[in-house]
Every structure is written in structure tokens, then in C-alpha cells.
Structure 1
Amino acid sequence: MRRTSRKKRSTLADRAIAASAALILGGGGLVAVNVYASAGEGPSGSPPTRTQNAGRQLSTIDCPEAVNGLPEVPDRARGEVDRELAAMDTQITDAYRQFADRKEQLARDPGLAENAVLGPLRGKRAASLDRIGIAIGRVTERPEGLESLAGCSLRADDDQGRGQGQGGNGPEAADFVDIRSVRPDADPPRKRRGASRGSFTTDCGRNENGKFNPDNVIVAPGVSNGAHHMHDYVGNQANDAFASDDDLADGATTCRNQGDRSTYYWPVLRLQNGQDEDDVDADGGGRDQNTGEIQTPSRVTLRFVGSPVGRVTAMPRFLRIITGDAKAFTNGDANANASWSCTGFEDRQLKDTYPICPEGSQVVRTFAFQNCWDGQNTDSANHRTHVAFAQDDGRCPNGFRAVPQLVQRIVYDVPPGPGFAVDSFPEQLHKPITDHGDFINVFDERLMRTMVRCINDGRRCR
């Protein structure tokens, strides 16, 4: 897959600026149709509302996140449940593609969206939810009320600039802000007596060797294109949808210290300059509405830090952590953890907008991962409840213990202006709030012990 080099990026400035101007000045939304915004049950199972869409623009398909409505999934059912959840993502992607491909028909026939797209989508989701219920019911009591998670609606918006980039799939002009207009954030809380003040930095490169795939072995194990967007990978080179813990343990690594075979991955960032990437006809790329030239980071820093109130303990091997929410545009920001900024302005962090950096400044993505672990599980059914963030006072929630916190910083040398976006699920419209990162700990025990000692002793180690 072609990757845009730093030298080449500098020659793309004029095209990127032209694309930025087009993004700001023109283009309609994905579909402008006269349909009801909520046709059928809404995302929370609410009854339909007859909100007329005349003069409004269809933004995206809005479905409830099924995993958030499930009870604890037994281990013996988890494989089948994960496959059905991944299938539901594919169902939404296919429905979104139908909207994009049939927008002229939808404009002429307001009932087509409901009859030909939304109705069948709800039926497929209901069937998947029924299979999830059966899978769980084979092991324990079958959960009730899953059918309420089948409802999907069309999200409409009054913003006439919505969805302009990527052929009507976002981002829009309002998703960008000049970093110089943003007020600096408040000072971070001070570390208290007894804090673990050290750090451990691992150097795993910038994905110079071009490892990409649209899989997500944490969320959708065993499912090709489980992410519906392309990921950059550094560290472990065995990571794909089918990688087992043994595969990861035996995999090669790009990390300088070979004791770190962990896998670190995140959605790629692309220039929105009208140029095709090699994946323009591939899953995770153009088939999932992700277009433009993939950018190689100019710098990637992977640093583990301590607790502001006490010592940290070792992470278990194969601990899986997802930070942020790839579906925050439709799910809401409860699990969002995006942080965007510019070099020289990193005291100004953005959550739901991309930064426009001044000349000479570079775009920065920062992920601070969860730093508390439940002491028992390396994963959970929703891939979240086994880890947590420390509370406002710096302490872990009851039953959790502090572990080294991964702080991931990714820097890009892109032309000034709003001509870039991260890959996303198609219906998430490349919104900056959907940014997220994934980590699987495959440090060997000796190196993990070294990390913990460095952090607890207040040293800076590499």
C-alpha cells in the first residue's frame, strides 16, 4: 500500500489547500431527502417522532450500540456474540453504502429509505440479536429485551455544511478550528506525596514498514474487516483478526527492545486532497468510505507513567485496553477520549474538533489510556469494564489497582488547513471525537518488572 512520505507531503500543500477551500465553500450533505428523521424506534428504543426533514440533510444512520445493552457475556458464548456484533457493524455499513449509492432515488421517493434500507436493516439486526440471545441462553439465562436494540433511524441535521468531505461522508468545515483561537487548558492536578513519578518509554517506530489492516482482534476476533476502517500498527507484527495470544507471543516486533511484543494500533490519518490510496477499492478503504492518502506519522511516542497518588503494579500479560469510542458520533461522548492539538500548543487540547495548525506546527493526536485494572480479567464482554480511569482524586475505583498508564502521542506533518481526517466507520462521518486507540500488553515478565520499578522509583527509563 502506498504511503505518503514526508517529502511528498510537502509537495501536496497546494492541492490540500485547494481541497480545504472546496470543503469550506461547497458541496451538499450526503443525501438531501424529505423523509422522517426517525422512522421506527430510535436509538434508545423510543417511539418514532415525525420530525419532517424538508430542508434538512441526512447525516448518518443512527443505531444503538448493542454491546452496551448486553449483560455480562459468559466466556463460552463470547466468540459467537463477538461475531454477531461484528456482523451488525457490517449491516450498518452496507445500509450506509446503499444510501450513498441511491441518493438520487431517495430524493425522488421519500419512502424508499424506510422500505428498502432501514426496514431491512432493523430485520437483520433483530435476527443477529436473537442469535446473541440464543448463544447466551445456551450457557446461562437468556437476556430479555434485546429486541429493543434493533431500532435504527436516520439522523438529520440543520447544518448545511454537514458531510462535505470524502464525497459527502465528512468531515465538514465546522469540524476544524484554528488552534490559536483555543484557550489553554487548566493546569493538570499536582502529584501527591507517594506518587509514582517515573516513566518508561518504548520505541516501536512509526509504522515505516506499512503494516495496515481493517481488523480489530480485540472487538471482532476472527472477523476480517471488523473495524471497517484502516489501522496503523506498531509493535507486534502478527496482529490481524485471527491472531491468538500465542501468535502475539511468537510474533515479530518493531520495538527496539525485543522484550516488548505489545501491539499498538489506531485509525490511520489521511489527506483529503482528492488523491486515491492503494486501498481505494478495498475493505477498510474506499469500500468503507475511507479515501485519501494515508499519512505516515513524523513521530510516535509510547510512554508509560505512574499514579499521582501511589505505586503501580504490573499489568497482566495480554491485557487488552481500548481508549476512546469509534462510534462516539452516534453513541455520545460517554466513552470518548480523543485529544487533538498542535506542536507548540499542546496546552490546548481539542475533543470534538480537528486543529488547524499554523505554519511550522504539526498535528498531534494524544491518547491517555485507562490506568486502573480490576485485578482479575484481561478483557471483558464490552472490552471496557475490566479497566477504568482513576477518579478525580487520582485513586482507582474500589476493587481496581493502579497499573502503568500508556500515554500515546502521534505527530503528523500535514499541510496547514482542514484537509485531513481519521478513518472511521462510514456512519461516523470521520468525526474527530471518534478517534481511539488500542493496546494489547505483550511485554515479557522481566521487562514489565523493569517498567514497574522505574516508575515506582521515580526514574526515566527506556
Structure 2
Amino acid sequence: MGRNTRKRRSPLATKVVAGAAALAVGGGGLVWANFYASAHESDSSHHRTRSAGAQVATIQCPDVGQKLRNVPRGARSGVDKELAKLDEQITEAYARLASTRQAQSGDSAYVQNAILGPLKSKRTAALDRIGINIRRGGGDAPGGLDRFAECRGMGADQPGNGDGDNGNGGQDQDNGQGQDGGQDGGGQDDGQNQGDNGNGAAGPFADDFVDINDVQPNSRDLENGLAANGDGGSTGSFTAVCGVNENNLFNSDNLIVAPGVDNGAHHTHDYVGNQNNNAFSSDDDLAGADTSCQNQGDKSTYYWPVLRLQDGTQEFDANDLGGGAEGNVGKILKATEAEIKFVGNQQSDVVAMPKFLRIITGDAKAFTNGVANANSSFSCTGFEDRQVTDKYVLCPEGSQVVRTSNFQSCWDGQNIDSANHRDHVAFVQQDGSCANGFQAIPQLQVRLVYDVPAPTVENGQVQNPYAVDGFPEQLHKPITDHNDFINVMDENLMNEVVDCINGGEDCQ
């Protein structure tokens, strides 16, 4: 399917990522997660029950990018590249974790000595370089950056606490092996083929799914991103009709978080709107690009991780970094509907967004970071009063899967981006207003509808599941869904959007 728009990788970049790819692929097939047992899997050879959470399923590291606040503009390019190296290091360490189960079974200190220890050393060096970049840019590097170097192991059903450190040397109390050395009885037993969905993917698991009938109406578990539109303030809307990626524009870059870094996302994105999206696109490139939007004044880029059906299909990126080489496998499912709408604020008029404003909503690392920035939700057509953030939904026959993301709608009035890509925008307060110093801007709401064959869940196992693409160590958890936006509307169109919303009209 389609094409990958990633530019040719430089020889240096090829060397950097080759190690991770080599670890990820072996013997002609993926080796990501052949040890993952679904929670409460029955082990008939030992006549007992074990939990996936008792095993080291993945690696949790502090998300350094979220902790940086004051990075001089001149230092951001260098800092972003070092942050991307931290992601590469985690990917490589996770691949090693998944491919060394036999070695782990005979050595209770293997994970610490062979994986977490070397990872800490690499992270320490990258953190040092971040500090150097900040100082060279004229800033003051935050003290104690090295405290973010240590990582730990965590289970497949264990939520992250957001700090990457549990206070005992960066490891679980089981010496990084799980309560029983990472497997039962010292052998690979029936965990060898459990929980990998038949294709080596690291999740999702049966516990990641919920029947939509079991979700309580109006009980979304996170408040971030609740629709800001109401009966007062600015009540209009503007709908951008931009298609569903009919041009098959895919890549695993992330222009917001990792500009200039090939495969910065480590997962594949769908793109609608702007047709010149890759890690190397400048603002001028975006402004001069074609657009899939009906209104040619809207060259904004709207992008999100693809949804895949893990059915064994060999996609165009089956052997690529960001795709199958990093555990993102199966058939890419294109949305049947992509509703892109801008709405108003409950308490006030909205002001125009600045051109090239960047907003990320949700957190691609929420499984290990914790849920503070998690935001997207899943539902089913006909049941959209029932939204759930930490589960994929099982829809009844005739109903389709819905992904919803409501973006931050308060802007600091000055910056189109920030060091951690979050501080320049915010969600509305409980009463629908923006905090002091922030201005209400049109709230972007993205609603994606998919015709997904319902997975089968039996005896604690899920067959042919669907999942969002993600960083490999995030185990395809639904809580990691996210959405990205760069505003590239021309001035006339942005003014029209504002006028429609403030005037109570519904436009497109």
C-alpha cells in the first residue's frame, strides 16, 4: 500500500539505526514479544496462573523532553536531535530485552547488567550533550540532568508512574527479571507463542479491549480535551474537508517533536491536508505545498498514528524502521471518515491562531510516562456517549470504531511552539475559560471512523486485534493514542474561521 515519503537516510543515520534493526529482526521474522503472556494466562505445565505484569515486558525511562522548559531557540535543534537519540536508545534496548529471553532465564542479573546498565550509560552521555547544547545556546542547563538517565523494567499490565524510577536503583524488586526470572520453570514453555497475535507484535493484549456495552455513558476517565463548545461564548464551527489520506502519504517522521531526524516517531503516521510532510520540511516547504483540503487556503498538516489490523498482512513498511522492524505490523486501516472541525469557547470569543502554530494532543509514551497528557478516546458509532481512553473498544455488528481527539484550545499569545511542545498551549479550565495570560483559539476536534473487523477474545487471548502504531516499548497500548497539528491556513481563511465561530455560524 502507498508510499513512504521519508527522505533517503544518510550513511551516518544508517549506522545509528542499524543496531536496533538488527536486534528487532532475526531469522526472517520479528522477535519482539514472543514471551508476552496475556494477563492471567493459564500455564498447564505447572498447573498455576501467572500474570503478564509479573514479567519485565518493557522498559520505562523518564521522558526527558517533557521535563525541559527553558531551552533557547538556538539550542532547540541540537536538543531535539539528542532527545531523538534517547528514543533510539530505548528502542534498541527494548529490542534486546525481547530477543534475549533465553539468556535472561539463566541469569537473574542479566537485564540489569546487559540491558539497563548499558542503557543508562548511553543516556548519561546524551543528557550531557543536551546540557552542552543549552549552554552553547546561551541558556542555563537544568541541574542534575543525569538523574533522568536510569530506566527500569515494567510489566505489560503495569501503568507507568511518569518518573521512570521506582527508587530502588531503576529496577523492580525482582532484579529486573519478573517474579520468577521472566518465565516459568526456567523454560520458554507456552509463553513462546502467547500474546504475540501470531506475528511477533508487542501487544495489544486481551485486557486492552472492552465491549462498548460495558462502558458507562458519560464516564470518560480523563477530563483533558473535553469539548469546549457550549451555549455561551463562541458557538459556531468550521469544518475542514481534507479527505482520508487518499494520496497514501505515510512516514515515520515527526516534524514537531523531531525535526530533521529520520524515523523520529518510530511509528507510521497518516497525513491529511499538507502534502509535504516529513522531518526535513521547513515552514516555507509547508507554505508552498499542495493540500488535500477542499479549501486550498488550508495547507495545515493534520496527522496521527495509523491504525492497523494485526492479521499477518505484509504492508509496504513491513521491513522498515517505524513499521514492521519496530513491531508495527499488519494491515494499515484507512479511516472511512475523517471529520476535522474547529469549534469555539464556552466563555469568550476566539482569536486567530498564528501561522505555523504546532499542537500535540495525547501522549505517544503514556504507558510508561503515566496518563497526565493522555487524551484521545475510543468509541463506536451509535454509542458515542461512551468514550474510553485506556481501552480499545469491541463494537457490535454494524457499528464502527471511532477515535476522537479534542485539542488544547488556549494559547499563550506569543509562541508557536515550546521546548517541550506543550507549554505554549493549554486546555480550558473547569468553567471553560482560559487561564490568565492565555487566549482562546479555535479548538481542533478530530473524529476518525474505521470499519474494523471485531477482534475475537477467548480464554484470555485476542485474535486479529487492531491497534494504533506506537513506540515499540509502549506495547501498542490504547492510552498512547495521540494527534498532531500544524496550522498552515492563510490569513484570509483563518479570519473566516474566527468569524464563523464567533458569529455562531457553521461553515466549511
> What interval of TM-score do these two structures reach, taking the shorter chain for normalisation?
0.7 to 0.9
Q: 1:407 is paired with a residue of what secondary structure?
A: strand
Matches within 5 A, 1:1-12: 1=1
Range with greater deviation from structure 2 (401-410 or 152-161) = 152-161
AA aligned to 1:254 is S
Q: Contact 1:69–1:146 at 8 Å: present in 2 too?
A: no
| Matching residue within 78, 85, 88 for 2:86 | 88
Q: Partner of 1:146 in structure 2?
A: 145
Q: Does 1:446 align with 2:446?
A: no
SS where residue 127 of structure 1 aligns? helix
- Which SS does the other structure have where 1:123 is aligned? helix
| 1:262-301 aligned within 5 A | 262-301=300-339
Whole-angstrom distance in 1 between the partners of 2:473 and 2:219: 34
In structure 2, distance between residues paired with 1:329 and 1:361: 28
Question: 1:137, 1:143 within 8 Å by CA — same for their partners in 2?
Answer: no
Question: Is the Cα–Cα contact under 8 Å of residues 59 and 155 in structure 1 kept in the other structure?
Answer: yes
**Which of 123, 127, 131 in structure 1 is aligned with 2:121?**
123
Match of 1:434 in 2: 480
Taking the aligned partners of 2:227 and 2:263, their CA distance within structure 1 comes to 40
Counterpart in the other structure of 1:156: 155
**Alpha-carbon shift at residue 144 of structure 1 (Å):** 0.8
Aligned to 2:431: 393
**1:14 is matched with which residue?**
none
The 5-angstrom pairing of residues 180-329 of structure 1 reads 180-185=213-218, 194-329=232-367
For residues 317-396 of structure 1, what are the structure 2 equivalents within 5 Å? 317-396=355-434
1:420 equivalent in alignment to 2:466: yes
- Measured in 2, the distance between the counterparts of 1:458 and 1:55 equals 50
Preserved CA contact (<8 Å) 2:341 2:444: yes
**SS of 1:408's equivalent?**
strand
Q: Which secondary structure state, in structure 1, belongs to the residue aligned with residue 77 of structure 2? A: helix
- The aligned residue for residue 102 of structure 1 is 100
- State the AA in 1 paired with 2:479: I
The whole-number CA distance in structure 2 between the counterparts of 1:169 and 1:192 is 41
1:373, CA displacement in angstroms? 0.3
Partner of 1:17: none
Q: Percent identity?
A: 59
Shifted more, 192-201 versus 289-298: the winner is 192-201
| Aligned pairs (5 A) from 1:166-185 | 167=200, 169-185=202-218
Distance 1:364-1:248 versus aligned 2 partners, 3 A rule: same
Q: Do the aligned residues in 1 keep the contact of 2:52 with 2:157 (CA within 8 Å)? A: no
Question: What SS does the corresponding residue of 1:439 show, helix, strand or coil?
Answer: strand
1:70 deviates by 2.4
Distance in 2 separating the partners of 1:337 and 1:393? 19
Structure 2 portions without partners, runs of 5+: 4-32, 40-50, 159-182, 184-190, 221-225, 457-464
Query: Which residue of structure 2 lines up, in the alignment, with residue 22 of structure 1?
Result: none
What amino acid does structure 2 have at the position aligned with 1:456? N
Residue 146 of structure 2 aligns to which amino acid in structure 1?
E
SS in 1 for 2:494: helix
Q: Is residue 343–residue 363 contact of structure 1 (8 Å, CA) maintained in 2?
A: yes
CA contact (8 A) 1:271 1:294 kept: yes
Indicate the SS of the match to 1:154: strand
SS at match of 2:57: strand
Q: Hey, what's the Cα distance between the residues in 2 that align with 1:158 and 1:191?
A: 35
Following superposition, the deviation at residue 407 of structure 1 comes to 0.4
Superposed displacement of residue 280, structure 1: 1.0
* 1:369-399 Cα shifts (integer Å, max 9, x gaps): 0000000000000000000000010100110
Asked whether 1:459 is paired with 2:505, we answer yes
Task: Give, as a single letter, the amino acid of the residue that structure 1 aligns with 2:473.
Answer: E
CA contact (8 A) 1:214 1:228 kept: yes
Note if contact 2:379-2:403 (Cα within 8 Å) is conserved in structure 1.
Answer: yes
Tell me, yes or no, if the aligned pair for 2:228 and 2:432 is still in contact at 8 Å. no
One-letter code aligned to 2:217: P
Unaligned runs of 5+ in 1: 4-25, 33-52
Q: Indicate the residue corresponding to 1:60 in structure 2.
A: 58
**8 Å Cα contact 2:52/2:155 also seen in 1:** no
Distance 1:369 1:192, change over 3 A: closer
Cα deviation code 1:12-43 (max 9, x no counterpart) = xxxxxxxxxxxxxx9741799xxxxxxxxxxx
CA distance in 1: counterparts of 2:340 and 2:493, whole angstroms: 15
Letter in 1 for 2:134: I
Report the AA paired with residue 434 of structure 2.
C
Task: Report SS of the residue matched to 2:200.
Answer: helix
**CA displacement at 1:69 relative to structure 2:** 2.5
Q: Which amino acid aligns with 2:73?
A: D
SS of the equivalent of 1:93 reads helix
Distance of aligned partners of 1:403 and 1:99 in 2 relative to their CA distance in 1, 3 Å threshold: same
Deviation digits for residues 269-310 of structure 1 (CA, Å, limit 9, x no counterpart): 000112221211101101111000101111100000000111
What is the letter of the counterpart of residue 143 of structure 1? P
For 1:346 and 1:131, the matched residues in 2 are separated by: 47
Which deviates the most, 335-344 or 158-167? Answer: 158-167
Q: What is the alpha-carbon distance in structure 2 between the residues aligned to residue 428 and residue 190 of structure 1?
A: 30
| Contact 2:228/2:343 (8 A) holds in 1 | no
The residue identity in structure 1 corresponding to 2:478 is P
Alignment partners' CA distance in 2, 1:277 and 1:235:
23
Q: Which amino acid aligns with 2:315?
A: E
Match of 1:49 in 2: none
Change (3 A) 1:154 1:30: farther
The TM-score normalised by the length of structure 1 is: 0.87
CA 55–447 in structure 1, closer or farther in 2 if over 3 Å, else same: closer
Contact 1:357 1:417 in 2 (8 A): no
Q: Which moved more, 1:307-316 or 1:133-142?
A: 133-142
> Alignment RMSD, CA only?
2.4
Q: Quick one: which amino acid aligns to residue 470 of structure 2?
A: S
